[in-house]
Amino acid sequence: MIRTHKSVVPVDYWPHLGLLLLGCVAVYWHTLDVPMYLDDISSISDNAALHDLSQWQRIWAFSELRFVGYMSLALNYAVHANSVVGYHLVNIAIHLGMGVALYGMLRTLARTPALVGSPLSARMPELALAVALLFVVHPLNTQAVTYIVQRLASLVALFYLLSLWFFVLGRLADGRARRLYWIIAAGFGLLALFTKQNAVTLPAAILLLEYSFFAVNAAARRRLLRGIGWSLLALLIALAALHFSGTLGLEVLDAASRETLRISRIDYLAAQMLVLWRYVGLFFWPAPLLLDYGLLPQWRFSDWQVVLAALAHIAAMGGALFILRRQALTAVGILFFYLAHTVESGFIPIKDLMFEHRSYLPNVGLCLALLLPLSLLRERVLFAVCLALVLVLGAVSWQRNELWRDQVAFFNHAIEHAPNQPRNWVYLSKVYHKNGDNQQALEFLNRELTANEQRNGRLRLDTATYIYWSKLLRATGDTTRAEQIDAYVAGLQTSPQQRQRILLNQGNSYLQAGDYAAAEAAYRQVLAVNPAHENANINLGVVALLQERYGEAIEIFERYPQHPVSQSNLPSARAALEGKLEFEGLSEQVQEKAE
């Protein structure tokens, strides 16, 4: 007889883990060549802070609260530079890890005082597999996996879930084993906290598990609630002391807990009452999925739709509390959905009201909520239903990932389903510009410019779009109009970073036009402000190469050996310097990463 308790992983886990691996690979194997999108460029390939691991302090300065997430991207860059395969492999591994952690935690929760010996506990192996498989293949999770930089959403979720799992393991153990499990749980919690800010809800999630699965009698629940009450009181007293001592003013807290001033906290919360139901709707009917839903902050608590949505949320949470003692997993799933959305769908205004990757961790709660209806099915029926769901959801995910592979098709799909969302048109224009079709890119941008003027009564663009518009005009030969836009933007109160982007784009335009002296002057203006600007230095090396200053070009390219322009042109520069070839032009055109 096999004694499974001696194994680190029980023997019956392995076939289930194999199915999770199979489901993950089936849905994501073809995403390894998905190109970088949007924030991938600014956060990874165009982010000099990530390009030298020995200067880890620059990563910390770039984003203290997301240091772990960006460090993982920096490690990828150190190995793969701008080759996307390595990034996607890591993202897929993180997603598979989420499926395994969800499966393992459910198997562990079946041993807690609230569930042990129950019919649900006896069926937990098959139910845990069903729920974990649905999570792994669900289309609503594709953005957090396939969009490289949204690794932060999936990685924080993995650390968060592992911390919860090891807390439960520790709660079921004793002595040294308990301390070890809890140390590991604290370590994962710390990693989560420095991956993304929504990890601040982790202590509340731990208390939710403690109350739901371990505080099984009235006395234990009273003790726990008293402890929570005293802890909250101590926290309020500490915050008050910091405020009145001048150490931490309310204005500092306000600035730290908002991304934009354009939306009030109460109006943002009103909009989120509707957004949260859209997340729920997409979980149960994941179509259409879009990168940018373009929702506007136009809702108020005086709108009847918002009132109804809020009442429905209150009813859902109230119902979860009502069934908490009888159906703990389902109730915890509903409450966890709201808890995990607290940071990004609460009182902290964020300029974009909705993104699919924000639902990645909360989707765990919705998966848990499915346990009740699934547990009502007989074994064979459960198998048939889950197989059908996995196949259908997996096919939708596969198709969504196939769209990610083709940027033109991806944004055309977005425009088809959200034709009035301005950024979808701008994004599509940028794809055509990246592919070298500047005239088509300008046509798509002009559509949005016309619509923008009609919407607002006058043209109202952000500085980045003005910069991109100027670059397109230069690329299509309209230098006069481009200079007019540059002059207008120069009159705005632009940040040093925006000014650098303007100058870099000007230099790139001059370079493409063959005006090497003007291009060099623009790049040197960038370097006068930021001597470490990678693209300005690289493009200066390109200018030196084109002007047959081979030694100078080699010196610059050797400083940036991982940059694709350096890798492509350094051999030619060395050969030309040695007289082994007559240099006639670039083997790879300058990469214009500033948009």
Amino acid making up residue 433: H
Q: Residues 532, 570: contact at Cβ < 8 Å?
A: no
Q: Residues 474, 439: contact at Cβ < 8 Å?
A: no
Please give the DSSP secondary-structure letter assigned to residue 198.
Answer: G
Q: Residues 23, 391: contact at Cβ < 8 Å?
A: no
- DSSP result, 286-346: --S--S-----S---TTSHHHHHHHHHHHHHHHHHHHTTTTSHHHHHHHHHHHHHTTTTTS
Distance CA 144, CA 40 (A): 12
C-alpha distance from residue 205 to each of 178, 211, 220, 382 (Å): 19, 10, 18, 29
Print the SS3 string covering 434-448: HCCCHHHHHHHHHHH
Q: Residues 62, 47: contact at Cβ < 8 Å?
A: yes
Q: Residues 432, 441: contact at Cβ < 8 Å?
A: yes
Distance CA 488, CA 472 (A): 16
Q: Residues 224, 207: contact at Cβ < 8 Å?
A: yes
Q: Residues 48, 534: contact at Cβ < 8 Å?
A: yes
Distance CA 312, CA 472 (A): 48
> Hunting for tokens 């194997």 — which residue is that?
29
Amino acid making up residue 333: G
Q: Residues 459, 488: contact at Cβ < 8 Å?
A: no
Q: How many residues does the chain have?
A: 595
What per-residue confidence (pLDDT) applies to 251? Answer: 63
- Which region holds residue 350: left if phi is over 0, alpha if psi is between -120 and 50, else beta? beta
C-alpha distance from residue 294 to each of 148, 421, 553, 557 (Å): 21, 5, 44, 41
Which residues of the chain register pLDDT less than 70? 1-11, 242-243, 246-257, 493-495, 580-595
Distance CA 65, CA 428 (A): 32
Q: Which two tokens stand for residue 140?
A: 């609503």
Q: Which two tokens stand for residue 226?
A: 């008293």
* Digit-coded pLDDT (tens) for 259-293: 777 788 899 999 999 999 999 999 999 989 998 88
Is the pTM for the entire model greater than 0.75? Answer: yes
- DSSP result, 480-549: HHHHHHHHHHHHS---HHHHHHHHHHHHHHHHHHT-HHHHHHHHHHHHHH-TT-HHHHHHHHHHHHHTT-
Distance CA 171, CA 167 (A): 6
What per-residue confidence (pLDDT) applies to 424? Answer: 86
C-alpha distance from residue 461 to each of 193, 232, 445 (Å): 35, 44, 12
C-alpha distance from residue 311 to each of 199, 315, 582 (Å): 27, 6, 75
What per-residue confidence (pLDDT) applies to 490? Answer: 74
Q: Which two tokens stand for residue 537?
A: 């230095």
* Digit-coded pLDDT (tens) for 103-123: 999 999 999 999 988 888 888
What's the half-sphere exposure (Cβ side, CA atoms, 13 Å) at 177? 7
What per-residue confidence (pLDDT) applies to 586? Answer: 52
Of 357, 344, 389, 478, the C-alpha closest to 132 is: 389
Distance CA 103, CA 19 (A): 12
Distance CA 491, CA 337 (A): 46
Distance CA 147, CA 292 (A): 13
Q: Residues 338, 312: contact at Cβ < 8 Å?
A: no
Q: Which two tokens stand for residue 159?
A: 């650390």
Amino acid making up residue 243: H
For residue 277, with 0-12 CB atoms within 10 Å meaning exposed, 13-18 middle and 19 or more buried, which class applies?
middle
Q: Which two tokens stand for residue 356?
A: 């699919």
What's the half-sphere exposure (Cβ side, CA atoms, 13 Å) at 161? 30
For residue 236, with 0-12 CB atoms within 10 Å meaning exposed, 13-18 middle and 19 or more buried, which class applies?
exposed
Of 327, 325, 364, the C-alpha closest to 104 is: 364
Distance CA 125, CA 104 (A): 9
Say which residues have a Cβ less than 8 Å from residue 284's Cβ, sequence separation at least 6.
none
> Hunting for tokens 């997603």 — which residue is that?
95
Print the SS3 string covering 415-441: HHHCCCCHHHHHHHHHHHHHCCCHHHH
